[in-house]
Structure 1
């Protein structure tokens, strides 16, 4: 079952890269006490993700923060090393990369899908959400192959 607006995010272990290496982050702790614009994508270095999705959030970071977003985070079913390298390659210093290497967070949200026919295994759907103190306030899930409602521009218009 897919998570809905008004529901609390499930707790799951995500991984972020620090100067000391990969560090586990509990979703409960990460989203507590702040407003987060979270966007998810099928994978780092994939065409739409690299050309449009991540760059849009990097470009609109200040505008999102001006509308009350405390933190911008990206999650994908990639390991922390790949997600960190991809963020650095795209100048995403203002975006927290949350690796969901085993897809546990995507599954717990009900927002996973099978990309095996593309050789990618289980992945996260493309979406964007606004989370306030761990509760989903907005959720915008893309139709397969689409890129509109999960964009930074769309999310900014909804705030």
Structure 2
């Protein structure tokens, strides 16, 4: 079942590279905070690298002014996410989260079967806004599209 507005973010452990591989518990990541989590099907893939991540890098300060933390999620490992962040000049404040086995993505019901493209199970392209671990907005892209999960679209639709 796909996560819905009003649902609590599922408990899971993600990873990021910061002085080695660091475990990130979703309860700590989302608890008591406003967080914008966007997911991409794969680091270094064309739309993800040319449009999706760059939009959040460009608008990072606008989210920060609203006290919203920004996190990028992909079903990749922490080393890939770190290398991608460096190649895209991602600000240190953006959490580059690895869901290596896709367990968190699957728990949210937002997995994408990309086996036909040789990519296995991945995350759908989406953006999720949560306050204190409760989903307030969810923007899931239709297959092959990039509209509702863009930084620009999300900023237009956030509460004032």
Task: Give the Cα separation in 1 of the matches to 2:127 and 2:29.
Answer: 17
> Number of aligned pairs?
157
For the residues of structure 2 that align with 1:36 and 1:88, how far apart are their CA atoms?
22
d(CA) in 2 for partners of 1:88, 1:96 = 12
> What residue number does 2:80 align with?
82
The answer to whether the aligner puts 1:102 opposite 2:101 as a matched pair is yes
Point out 4+ residue stretches in structure 1 off by more than 2 angstroms.
Answer: 65-68
Offset at residue 67 of structure 1 (A)? 3.1
Per-residue displacement from partner, 1:83-109 (whole Å, max 9, x unpaired)? 011011101123111100000011000
Aligned residue for 2:33? 34
Q: Does 1:3 align with 2:3?
A: yes
The question of 1:13 aligning with 2:9 is answered no
Q: Kindly provide the CA deviation profile for residues 14-54 of structure 1, in whole angstroms up to 9, marking residues without a partner as x.
A: 001112x0011111111111101110000000000000000
Q: How does 1:1-159 map to 2 (within 5 A)?
A: 1-19=1-19, 21-69=20-68, 71-93=69-91, 94-159=93-158
Match of 1:144, SS? coil
TM-score (norm 2): 0.96
C-alpha RMSD over aligned residues: 0.8
Give the SS at the match of 1:154: helix
> For the residues of structure 1 that align with 2:22 and 2:65, how far apart are their CA atoms?
29
Q: Which runs of 5+ in 2 are unaligned?
A: none
Can you give the 5+ residue segments of structure 1 that lack an aligned partner in the other structure? none
Q: Distance in 1 between matches of 2:66 and 2:144?
A: 29
Residues 106-149 of structure 1, C-alpha deviations (whole Å, 9 max, x = no match): 10000001100000000000000111111101000000000000
Offset, 1:66: 2.3
